[in-house]
Amino acid sequence: MSEHSDRSPQRKPREDFVKEKQKKLLSSINYQQQVDTANNGSTPILMNSYQTISKLAQRFHLKLNVIPSLFGSFEPKPLYLRTDPISERAVADLLPLDQVRSYIDMIHQYNVKRSLTANQYKSKNQNSLMVPLIVTKTQNDPNENVCQLDFFANSAYERFNRTFGKSFMLFQRYIPCKGSNANVIRCIYHRDRPQKLVYRIQSNVKMTGHVDVLDEEGKGEYGSPAKKQPAAQTESFMMTQEKVRGYAHDIIKQIKERLDQLDDPNATPLEFGVDQVLLSPTVQATFDMYGQATGGNSNKSNELYMAQVSLQEEIDKNCKTIFQYCTQDSKPEEMTIVEAKITNYPSINEQMNSLVQCLDQYLRLDKHLTLKELAVDFVTDFMDDRHYFLQIKFLDGEEFAKPVALKPLFHQRKVQSSNPRMHFD
């Protein structure tokens, strides 16, 4: 027995085996190698997927649950994309710039309610969860999104004003996903496969700032593999409600000290506290000739506006919110992947069928291609279990010999410039 055991090959620890398997799996579905050689007729993907969705929505009956989003380019008005609650069709309209604040306030009202609910059941070790309001996406590299999160209505409005018209941008509601860790559902269609493939890609970092730790059997919470890392190493750059409230308290103190130094007998003392700074919707601030909110006076709206902007700057400087609230294909060692079945996601299956049909029609008519492979990311809202389209991760087509004359599914619609009705039903 001893001689046999000495000769047997030494097995890798379970943790190393799981890590290696997970890394290979993510590498096979992140499409970083294939995207440069894909034949898609320059059809926009990733954050620019919403350009593609806008084109499809104008021409076809696209049944897709679209996150309420603003897509900005160098045009004077952003595209407003969402799903019509009655027809369940994706729609796209031009949104006047004076309606952007209303768009942000609706998201604020919607997500703040969910943030308060999230605190009730996602709290752990007195570490309450804060839910972002807006994610702004831009690109330095055409194959990768650059994301920035805003937790406050006025800081989101400030970021929109700084970014819009200067580059392509996507400004959309952050979906508080189902589960304690940020995750996406990646669905892959291939023309030669009988069924779609589905993967759940999940960050090992909890949105409350804790990191999954392996148990004695090499499993994390819910039996999923996880990276072993002491929580103490993450607390220095993770965002917690206690840390943010501390930042807000210091900012309010600085504002009051600055106003006390003003020699203005008519100045009205500010009367807002930490909760108002954290939860205030947009305010009508006064801007200078450079487009900056003017501070240094007793205008409560201006000071509240600048307090939220300053608070967001502190978070951006001291906390790695993207690491905490988003998944990252570029960091496979920090992700966990679980294979699933499309039959478990009927809503995603239905949305994919509509998207595949419309994309194939579009590629045939405009690019003389047929759709070969499509990978799409979805996110699940934890409150109502609805699956929202997040982005087209990968798109590949194949040329055919002669263009096939196909009749469009529906008559083309022009983009409307009238004020659209905004809703989340």
Number of folded domains in the chain? 2
Are residues 339 and 291 part of one domain? no
pLDDT band for position 141 (50/70/90)? Answer: confident
Are residues 48 and 108 part of one domain? yes
pLDDT band for position 422 (50/70/90)? Answer: low
Are residues 310 and 327 part of one domain? no
pLDDT at 214: 42
Give the range among 126-135, 290-299, 344-353 with minimum mean pLDDT. Answer: 290-299
Full-model pTM = 0.83
| Per-residue pLDDT tens digits for 142-176 | 888 999 999 999 999 999 999 999 999 999 999 98
pLDDT at 122: 47
Residue 404 half-sphere exposure, CB side, CA atoms within 13 Å? 13
Hey, what amino acid is at 10? Q
Residue 29 resides in a domain: no
Structural domain for 297, as ranges? 241-318
Are residues 328 and 199 part of one domain? yes
Are residues 92 and 203 part of one domain? yes
Residue 421 CB: number of other CB atoms within 10 A?
A: 8
What are 330's two structure tokens?
């570029």
pLDDT at 411: 52
Residue 343 resides in a domain: yes
Place of tokens 């020699």: 263
What is the dihedral sign for C-alpha 231, 235, 241, 245?
positive
Are residues 203 and 116 part of one domain? yes
- CB–CB of 142/32 below 8 Å? no
What are 148's two structure tokens?
């920035």
Are residues 256 and 209 part of one domain? no
Q: Are strands 134-141 and 335-340 parallel, antiparallel or unpaired?
A: unpaired
Are residues 302 and 207 part of one domain? no
| Per-residue pLDDT tens digits for 218-237 | 444 434 444 444 443 445 78
Name every residue whose Cβ is closer than 8 Å to that of residue 19 and which is 6 or more positions away in sequence.
225, 227, 333
Strand partners, 70: 80, 171
d(CA 110, CA 104): 10
What are the residue ranges of helices labelled H in 127-231? 153-163
Are residues 127 and 41 part of one domain? yes
